[in-house]
Amino acid sequence: MKLRAVELAEDAKNDMIAFYDWIAKATSPATALSYIERIETYIQGFEVASECGHLREDIRPGLRIVGFENRVTIAFVVEDERVVILRLFYAGQNWAELMQ
């Protein structure tokens, strides 16, 4: 087992902000914060389970996809020393098209 740092690309950071804004408007800031914290906790687990999910090299070399709570698709790549979270897509988004 190799320990890797987990980093969010700028697009992934923007996706998290958009999730927060959308959920806060639809429900409450507390609910939005709780959801974002759950995603962040899940993603931090990639430091030890970095090769989880499905490899989708048909879309992009090294691309891996994993789901979170049946609503979010997380797109990431595993490098030698780090895991880079590229994007987070909410249910209904065509992530495959957006990642090409």
Q: Identify the three-state secondary structure at position 65.
A: strand
Map out the domains of the chain as residue ranges: 5-99
pLDDT at 95 over 50: no
Domain made up of 5-99: CATH architecture:
2-Layer Sandwich (3.30)
What CA–CA distance (Å, rounded) separates 77 from 75?
Answer: 7
pLDDT at 53 over 80: yes
Are β-strands 63-68 and 54-55 bridged in parallel, bridged antiparallel, or unpaired?
antiparallel
Measured CA distances, 59 to 22, 56, 96, 98, 100 (Å): 28, 6, 7, 10, 6
Element spanning 85, H or E: strand 82-90
39 closest CA partner among 68, 67, 66: 68
Confidence class of residue 59 from pLDDT cuts 50, 70 and 90?
confident
pLDDT at 93: 55
pLDDT in tens, 16-48: 999 999 999 999 999 999 999 999 999 999 988
**Structure pTM?**
0.85
